Amino acid sequence: MSSRRSRISEEEINELISKLQSLLPETRRRGPGRVSAAKLLQETCNYIRSLSKEVDDLSDRLSALMETMDNNSAEAEIVRSLLRS
């Protein structure tokens, strides 16, 4: 990466990083001063992992729930009403 290119886009990168920060769940309140980009990226990685795990867990739970349902018309009603929402 040429130095000219990194000078031009450093502002853009900082803006993108702060956009990412706004998406992360608020954990413990940090003291004044900015968090390092490295720390933010690390938290971003952990957040993506935890979201993926939630998808896995919810898939398991939905699978278990569906196993207990054997009334086709009832499910159809649920799906229809959810699609209406």
Partner 1 sequence: MESKSFTTGNRDNPNTDLHGSKNMMASHFLRALFRIQQTSTSSSSFAGRSRRIRRAAYASMAYSAGARRAWSRALLRKLRSRARLRFPRRLSRTARPQRRDMDQAQVLRKLVPGGPSMDYCKLLEETADYIRCLTTQVRLMQTVMDSISSYAHHPMIP
Count of Cβ atoms closer than 10 Å to residue 74 Cβ: 10
Q: Which is nearer to partner 1, 12 or 26 (CB)?
A: 12
Q: Which of residues 16-75 bind partner 1 (CB under 8 A)?
A: 16-17, 19-20, 23, 36-38, 40-42, 44-49, 51-56, 58-69, 72, 74-75
Q: Are the CB atoms for 69 and 75 separated by under 8 Å?
A: yes
Residue 16, Cβ neighbours under 10 Å: how many?
Answer: 11
Which C-beta is closer to partner 1: that of 19 or that of 28? 19
> What is the distance, to the nearest Å, from the Cα of residue 8 to the centroid of all Cα atoms in its chain?
29
CB-nearer residue toward partner 1: 30 or 41: 41
Which residues, including other chains, have CB under 8 Å from residue 1's CB and lie 6 or more apart? none
Contact footprint for partner 1 (CB under 8 A): 9, 12-13, 16-17, 19-20, 23, 36-38, 40-42, 44-49, 51-56, 58-69, 72, 74-79, 81-83, 85
